[in-house]
């Protein structure tokens, strides 16, 4: 019998949360200010949590709250006041990397998933965590698939792994470069990613000032990113991951917008469903879709070898430009009235995003202006567009354009 796996998607706001739900996520993980590793991006406020949980649960989706920053005594005292509210909101589990947080969570009857930040890399650690009350372990990114398979075979708890998204040059994200250079701690969620900048190596010889030991390491187009790995992408290897018995596949990306979350979630949902039906066949179009949203190029991480390529900041094949907003939605004809501030024509690929809508991605098949069919509309007009799902007033409309 084929094991059913949980697909876990990131959510930085309600738009990305609804994009995850609408595209097949089984669960989402999100952060609240002060306790998660994405301090510089949109986050859910504590008062938003109950609505987020309710939205997910009514769609059969679980919610995990990230509390996996480094915790000092003052942080724990503050967290003590918040954990009962997380429990009251109905969160299904918290993600933690600190043993003190684990203790507090147990006191509040909250399930705990041990974060990748804990760098769990062996079965004995997993067994010990089970004794301490952990329900799931997110394994270190530095493990091979064979090593993960062996740990899973003996694990008394659920095992989760990352399958897609950004990779850090430090062990499971425990980096000090941002803190050293800019005083912004990556381990407290403040990373400003200096590793993604261009770098050069310089050797110094104090005994001979005339010797130049500057070494510039370049890649294609003279770009130097020796500290910036490519993104993890395992969509081609779903069968191997499924056969390893892993319980949950995790998509990285709580700093990413709704169209990223929707596209990546939908792609992996299709791949997983095909395998679970016994109809697996890799679809090259999956990679094309993944390349349309933000990426730094793709690699398989440590699953089969040491990552061997570095990357520029963004290698997506497409960009998106905001071109308008939804004014009205007419459910009887499945059409949206859109106020345009840029041109639009039949055949263009558009993205419509909003808090409740999530992210709707489609081609423009039909348009009307004042009841007449048109093929192209110039900016500063309202146009009716046939849409494939319900949208709402004030949703933002983007046009997806292939990079030159």
Residue 45 vs residue 216, higher pLDDT: 45
Range of the domain at 356: 318-402
Task: Tell whether 311 is covered by a domain.
Answer: no
* 258 and 392 belong to one structural domain: no
pLDDT in tens, 131-141: 999 999 999 99
pLDDT of 187 higher than 90: no
- Number of structural domains, the chain? 2
> What pLDDT, on a 0 to 100 scale, did the predictor assign at position 315?
78
Contacts of 301 (CB under 8 A, 6+ apart): 141, 162, 167, 232, 234, 307
* 165 and 291 belong to one structural domain: yes
pLDDT grade for 185, boundaries at 50, 70 and 90: low
* 382 and 252 belong to one structural domain: no
DSSP conformation class of 171 = G
- CATH assignment at residue 344: 2.40.30.10
pLDDT in tens, 110-156: 999 999 989 999 999 999 999 999 999 999 999 999 999 999 999 99
pLDDT in tens, 60-73: 999 999 998 888 89
Mean pLDDT over 343-361 rounds to 96
> What pLDDT, on a 0 to 100 scale, did the predictor assign at position 230?
84
Mean pLDDT over 23-36 rounds to 89
* 341 and 261 belong to one structural domain: no
Nearest to 159 by CA among 169, 174, 167, 149: 149
* 344 and 372 belong to one structural domain: yes
Residue 236 vs residue 316, higher pLDDT: 236
Q: Work out the number of other CB atoms within 10 angstroms of the CB of residue 167.
A: 20
- CATH assignment at residue 111: 3.20.20.380
pLDDT in tens, 203-232: 555 555 555 555 555 545 544 566 667 889
Task: Tell whether 188 is covered by a domain.
Answer: no
Task: Tell whether 137 is covered by a domain.
Answer: yes
- Report residue 112 as tokens: 């705990």
Residue 170 vs residue 45, higher pLDDT: 45
Which of 299, 331, 346 marks a domain boundary? 299
Task: State the greatest distance between any 2 C-alpha atoms of the chain, in Å, as a whole number.
Answer: 82
């Amino acid at each position: 019998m084929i094991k059913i796996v949980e697909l876990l998607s990131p959510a930085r706001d309600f738009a990305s949360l609804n994009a995850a739900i609408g595209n097949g996520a089984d669960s989402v993980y999100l952060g609240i200010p002060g306790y998660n590793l994405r301090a510089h991006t949109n986050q859910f406020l504590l008062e938003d949590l109950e609505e987020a949980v309710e939205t997910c649960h009514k769609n059969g989706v679980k919610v995990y709250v990230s509390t996996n920053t480094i915790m000092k005594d003052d942080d724990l005292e503050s967290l003590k006041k918040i954990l009962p509210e997380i429990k009251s909101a109905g969160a299904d589990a918290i993600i933690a990397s600190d043993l003190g947080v684990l203790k507090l969570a147990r006191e509040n009857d909250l399930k705990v998933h041990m974060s990748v930040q804990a760098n769990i890399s062996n079965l004995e650690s997993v067994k010990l965590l089970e004794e301490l009350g952990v329900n799931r372990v997110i394994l270190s990114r530095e493990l091979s698939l064979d090593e993960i398979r062996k740990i899973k075979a003996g694990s008394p708890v659920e095992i989760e792994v990352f399958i897609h998204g950004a990779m850090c040059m430090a062990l499971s994200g425990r980096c000090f470069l941002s803190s050293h250079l800019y005083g912004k701690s990556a381990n407290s969620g403040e990373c400003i990613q200096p590793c993604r900048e261009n770098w050069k190596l310089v050797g110094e010889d104090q005994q001979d000032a005339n010797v130049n030991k500057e070494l510039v390491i370049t890649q294609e187009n003279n770009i130097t990113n020796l500290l910036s790995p490519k993104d993890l992408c395992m969509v081609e290897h779903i069968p191997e991951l499924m056969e390893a018995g892993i319980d949950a596949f995790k998509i990285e990306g709580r700093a990413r917008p709704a169209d990223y979350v929707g596209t990546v979630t939908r792609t992996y949902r299709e791949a997983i469903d095909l395998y679970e039906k016994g109809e697996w066949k890799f679809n090259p179009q999956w990679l094309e879709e993944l390349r349309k949203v933000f990426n730094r190029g793709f690699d398989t991480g440590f699953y089969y070898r040491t990552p061997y390529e570095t990357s520029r900041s963004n290698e997506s094949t497409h960009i998106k430009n905001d071109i308008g907003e939804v004014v009205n939605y007419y459910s009887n004809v499945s059409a949206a009235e859109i106020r345009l501030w840029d041109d639009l024509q039949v055949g263009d690929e558009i993205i419509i995003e909003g808090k409740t809508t999530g992210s709707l991605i489609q081609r423009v098949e039909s348009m009307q202006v004042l009841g007449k069919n048109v093929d192209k509309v110039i900016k500063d007009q309202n146009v009716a567009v046939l849409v494939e799902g319900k949208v709402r007033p004030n949703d933002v409309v983007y046009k997806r354009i292939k990079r030159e």
